[in-house]
Amino acid sequence: MASTTVVPMVHADDDSGLDENGESPFPDARRPDRAYDLPAHGVRIAVHEWGNADAPPLMMMHGGFDFARTFDGFAPKLADAGWRVVSWDQRGHGNSEHAPLYSWDGDMRDTLAVFDHVAGGRPIPVVGHSKGGALMTQLADAQPHRFRCLVNMDGIPYKRNIPDLAEHERTTMLAKDLAGWLDHRGRTATASRKPGTLDELARRRGRMNPRLPHGWLRRLVTTGGFESDDGWRWKIDPALRFGGFGPWRPEWMLMRLPGLPMPFLGILGAEMEEMGWGTPPHKVLPYMPMDGRCEVLDGVGHFVHIEQPDLVSGLVLDFVGAPA
């Protein structure tokens, strides 16, 4: 059982208490040492780095609807161990450009641009959370020469069956999903994120991340949002939306795992929650690669690195070895 981190709670509905950078402080959270834009085949990608610029690089990819600054607590722990931790905002997220199109292939291509910029053709350690873990798993299968090792933090999908659902009910569900998605697409040309106070946005995010402390969610608002005349808004492109549909099947990702040739560490949070992938460990453990293993953290949710930064950074540092 992992230990519990005690953090201060903030309930006041105000924007006070921000630091000199206009960010809400949180214990051990640290803004990046460097931030810059990278042109990625036509899309501007915002890159954030922690640690010595001359240190060996380690790439870290965030999940969907997150952004690189969600590593403010976790990345410094690896940087302080001697790594140059490089993360980036996926297209449409954080400070990166709101792109006309979004797709898995597009994200993969942006990722290659960061690899090419950072790694200099050498294999490097890679850490990915949630969607970032799943995407890096596919990239590791497609281009293993880029990976010294791979850490997948709660981003291992598995096949979800709903065996007691009749076909006509599935059709009804899909019809609603499609109509809702098309209606959303019809509004995206003029849509903007809903404004609110700093604490309102933090509480909204808290509904999706119920296990994360309010103080951390406030920091997310001030690093992943912006303040305008009518309040705070998330920076993420309003065109992006939870849910979705398509031909992709979770098991197609899972079947790539056994063949990965590089050392692999999976870290699963055992607590199920809204944004989690609901991956039961016994479903994925049989798929571990020859040089792979999986750590299951009891009492920890989807955001393993935020809930347990010391424990998870310790696992990762032990796995990747000394900076080199």
Partner 1 sequence: MLRHNKVDLALHILRADPLDAAVPSRPLLLLHGLGDRSPDSVPHWVAAWPGPVAALDFTGHGESTVPAGGGYSPETLMADVDQALAQLTDGDPDRSITVLGRGLGAYVALQIAGARASQIHGAILTDGPGLAGGPTGPTSQSVFALDTDGSSPDPYALVELGRDLRPGDYAVSFVNLANAGAPVATPITVASSFRPKWLAAVAEAPGVAESSLTDALAAYA
* Token pair belonging to 46: 């915002």
Count the helix, strand and coil residues of the chain and give each as a percent rounded to the nearest 5: 35, 20, 45
Q: Is 139 in the site for partner 1 (CB under 8 A)?
A: yes
Q: Is 185 in the site for partner 1 (CB under 8 A)?
A: yes
Q: How far, in Å, CA of 293 to CA of 287, rounded? A: 10
Residue with smaller CB distance to partner 1, 110 or 307: 110
Among 247, 286, 298, 322, binds partner 1 (CB under 8 A): 247
Among 12, 165, 255, 290, binds partner 1 (CB under 8 A): 255
Amino acid (one-letter) located at 186: G
Segment near partner 1 (CB under 8 A); pick from 39-47, 150-158, 273-281, 284-292 = 39-47
Q: What is the largest CA-CA distance in the chain?
A: 59
Q: How far, in Å, CA of 176 to CA of 173, rounded? A: 5
Kind and range of the H or E run holding 38: strand 34-40
Among 4, 17, 160, 248, binds partner 1 (CB under 8 A): 248
Could you tell me the smallest distance in angstroms from the CB atom of residue 179 to partner 1?
Answer: 7
Would you say 30 and 77 are in contact if contact means Cβ atoms under 8 Å apart? no
Residue 118: name the closest of 45, 50, 56, 33 by CA: 56
Which residues, 150 to 169, sit near partner 1 by CB under 8 A? 167-168
Based on C-alpha coordinates, what's the Rg of the chain?
Answer: 19
Among 19, 28, 52, 188, binds partner 1 (CB under 8 A): 188
Write down the residue that tokens 């105000």 correspond to.
14
Which residues, 65 to 124, sit near partner 1 by CB under 8 A? 91, 98-103, 105-106, 108-113
Which residues, 265 to 304, sit near partner 1 by CB under 8 A? none
* Interface with partner 1 (CB under 8 A): 40-43, 91, 98-103, 105-106, 108-113, 139, 141-143, 167-168, 170-172, 174-175, 178-179, 181-182, 185-186, 188-189, 239, 245-249, 252, 255-256
